[in-house]
Structure 1
Amino acid sequence: MAEQDIVIVQANDKKGRAAFVDLGREFAAREPHSVPQVRSEQLELVNPAKNPFYGHADVQLFIARRSGKPVGRIAAHIDHLALELPAAQGMGPGTGLFGYFDAEDEAVAKALIACAEDWLRERGMTRALGPISLSIWEEPGLLVEGQDHPPMIMMGHHPKHYAKWIEQAGYAEAKRLLTYDLDVQQEFPPLIRRIVQSGERNERIRIRKVDKKRWDEEVKTILHILNDAWSSNWGFIPFTEAEIAHAGKKLRPIIREDLNMVAELDGRPVAFMLTFPDVNKPLKEIGGKLLPFGWLTLLRWLRRPKQADMRVPLMGVLKELHNSRVASQLAFMMISEIRDVAARKYDAERGEIGWILDDNQGMKAIADAIDSKINREYVIYEKTL
């Protein structure tokens, strides 16, 4: 059908946000390996009263309709913290964002992208970057490789043809993000085991579990390291105090103390590694529905995850230690400890590490050294407006 048959409306109020989320769920359900997420969690992400991202961003949600039927959606947003960053780090002045992109066909895709671009231009933006839904810390990039297996916790999953439609709208690749698959049951290579053993003999180094009894303090420690370690990375936007508090509250139920590590050097926290059991496994079982009894299945699993594969979404080492031997040693020591616990206590078979920027040679070298393999690739696109 012709592009002029498409009507795009804003989805600002509670009813509109619900329609926006439900449309995304409908598109996701069409994909063979997608995993239904909890609807209430998805609604929170687009609710200005519940997602602290809105504290430093302007967001507009759009729904495309054809003959009254919803046929696509997109979000256009401006992150004011991103505007303050150097352009060399991927964001910077004039950079607007789009995300939550779904479309029935190429004509709908074209109309939605043009609508988001117009909204950004009207607010002085000269460049569009995306998809990023909504924060860079939530769901960055479009899945371009890896549609043949289910996503893990907090990972986007998109049909392959979306890339073609975005590229046909004039977008080029700005950055590629990688995830690595690791056989958790397999021992690390001898060299890595020797590096870990050397670290274990070093009295200056201590690898400890996260302490949930001091959870608020631990969250601040971890995010302090993260903000420092990632501060020069492409696309980095620092967490605000509100986002730190919000992240701590949301992550606490899925945090297992023995799967999350803080590394100390001379008694000072200098590195961390977070690992989440793949909650997508029970979510698939309950179809993403907490009612009437899905919440009970999910709660039981969270209390005692078994045969639970793992995802390492974040790790960091203070910038002062970057490019040092001790930095990689700390990383290997934390990975080794977590791998051992995951295999022995949780019967994990797979682990997934990522996202990793495709030009992050240090992290790619660590992933290669432990015999992990790339299993997903995401792309963030850019276009001059």
Structure 2
Amino acid sequence: MEIVKVHKGNIDKFIKFSKSIYVGNAHYRDTMSRTVINILKGKAQICKGNFIEGVMVQDEGRIVAVCVFSVIDRMKDVLQMAYLEMVDDDKAIDTLINYGKTLAKEHGINKLLAGLNIHVNYGLGFLASHFDTDQSLGSAYNPDYYIKLLRTRSTEEITLISYLTSMDTFEFHLEDRLMDRILKEYTVRKADFRNLEKEAKIYTDINNKAFKSHRFYYKRKAEEDLELFREFKLLLKAENLLFLEHKNKPIGFMLWYPDFNQLLSEGESIGLKTLIKSKLFPNTIKKFKIVEIGVIPEYQKTGAVFSLFHECNLLTKGKFDFCESGWVLEDNIASTGLGVRWAQGEYKQYKVFLINV
């Protein structure tokens, strides 16, 4: 087997192979190709000043594995194996890992990280359960053998979990008096996408404060998040990004949106067609996603977050049957405790793997 580096002339082969893994899989939706292409072309904001190298493993001319190796200036202690796709073949993944170890040594790094797609905002974790359910927007999907191949080669395995609840039980069971006090103390406003740059910066600033202790989060640049918002601007409404404020000071946010993947067919990508479908058939989407919640540290144990859930409930009640959360780290007691209190139970599991060099 041999390593072939990705360049502008063979990016299409990288993408074609990635899609080929899921041919005939009714649960897969193509939510990453556009981002991966921009990264491989060096056009994405995250590429600036960072080491990005796409590679393909070939076996007698046939591609058997791909990934984007990356070292980010704000996370220099690991070499990422981002956007990893592979056939069920021990030699294929071993070839990729061995090449990664060589790269890591060149950069003075002693760990490979598989499961982070360059930044948590692009994706974190390989699906490790519920392979027979449809992929929701913003969540990973992959064949079950990915876990088998990576687990036996890793030195550490980290678990993430998501939650699912019926809108009939979207409650926190707080005393009315306590809820009234919280709602009087904290206000929630919708984003103003007419001033997208300003709102994206507020989002980035809160993110950087709220998640500075998160194991896989590194400080984000405003232009990187602005790029993501512009990509989804056609589908997002002002109500999908809620800002939490205390005395006119932004202290938190909630990003939620309808699961637009429910409008897509097998292997389809989000695009203009999705927007048209969402206008013509709004009742087709039965589930929405709470993708991300961030509250700055000094307000994390005040109950302020319940104002966000209260507003979200008002906006979604009667429009959807289910709500799915994004992932949280299994050892994040505060987040898992909130999930247990709010949801009917744990839903999908995801895995991240660290490999010693």
Tell whether 2:354 aligns with 1:354.
no
Q: Which structure 2 residue ranges, 5 or more long, are not aligned? A: none
Q: Which has the higher helix share?
A: 1
Shift of 1:257: 1.9
Equivalent residue number for residue 3 of structure 1? none
Tell whether 2:118 aligns with 1:125.
no
Aligned partner of 1:319 among 272, 283, 297: 297
Aligned partner of 2:316 among 342, 358, 362: 342
Change in CA separation of 1:299 and 1:265 when aligned onto 2, cut-off 3 Å: same
Tell whether 2:299 aligns with 1:306.
no
Tell whether 2:227 aligns with 1:251.
no
Equivalent residue number for residue 295 of structure 1? 272
Cα distance in 1 for partners of 2:82, 2:248 equals 42
Greater mean deviation of Cα atoms: 366-375 or 266-275: 366-375
Contact 1:227 1:238 (8 Å CA) reproduced: yes
Cα distance in 2 for partners of 1:38, 1:99 equals 11
Q: Following superposition of structure 1 onto structure 2, how do residues 150-299 of structure 1 map, counting pairs within 5 Å? A: 150-173=134-157, 175-191=158-174, 195-200=178-183, 202=184, 204-284=185-265, 287-288=267-268, 295-299=272-276
Equivalent residue number for residue 48 of structure 2? 55
TM (norm. structure 2) is 0.91
Amino acid aligned to 2:22: A
Shift of 1:343: 2.9
Contact 1:75 1:98 (8 Å CA) reproduced: yes
Q: Please provide the CA RMSD for this pair.
A: 2.3
Shift of 1:135: 2.4
Contact 2:54 2:68 (8 Å CA) reproduced: yes
Aligned partner of 1:9 among 4, 17, 20: 4
Please give the per-residue CA displacement for 1:25-57, whole angstroms capped at 9, x wherever unaligned: 1113354421133744442243212x1111142
Tell whether 2:3 aligns with 1:22.
no
Q: Which runs of 4+ in 1 moved over 4 A?
A: 192-195
Please give the per-residue CA displacement for 1:150-184, whole angstroms capped at 9, x wherever unaligned: 121121111111122112224321x2221111212
Aligned partner of 1:76 among 54, 62, 69: 69
Equivalent residue number for residue 86 of structure 1? none
Contact 2:263 2:284 (8 Å CA) reproduced: no
Cα distance in 2 for partners of 1:192, 1:361 equals 23
Amino acid aligned to 1:62: V
Equivalent residue number for residue 115 of structure 1? 99
Shift of 1:14: 1.7
Give SS of 1:145's match: coil
Please give the per-residue CA displacement for 1:192-226, whole angstroms capped at 9, x wherever unaligned: 766433423x2x32122222233322221122111
Amino acid aligned to 2:335: M
Cα distance in 2 for partners of 1:130, 1:242 equals 25
Contact 1:259 1:341 (8 Å CA) reproduced: no
Q: Following superposition of structure 1 onto structure 2, how do residues 373-384 of structure 1 map, counting pairs within 5 Å? A: 373-384=345-356
Contact 2:163 2:343 (8 Å CA) reproduced: no
Change in CA separation of 1:224 and 1:99 when aligned onto 2, cut-off 3 Å: same
Cα distance in 2 for partners of 1:302, 1:130 equals 38
Change in CA separation of 1:70 and 1:193 when aligned onto 2, cut-off 3 Å: farther
In the alignment of these two chains, the number of paired residues is 355
Cα distance in 2 for partners of 1:338, 1:61 equals 39
Contact 2:263 2:277 (8 Å CA) reproduced: no
Q: Which structure 1 residue ranges, 5 or more long, are not aligned? A: 1-5, 84-92
TM (norm. structure 1) is 0.85
Give SS of 2:220's match: coil
Amino acid aligned to 1:67: E
Contact 1:31 1:159 (8 Å CA) reproduced: no
Shift of 1:274: 0.6
Change in CA separation of 1:321 and 1:187 when aligned onto 2, cut-off 3 Å: closer
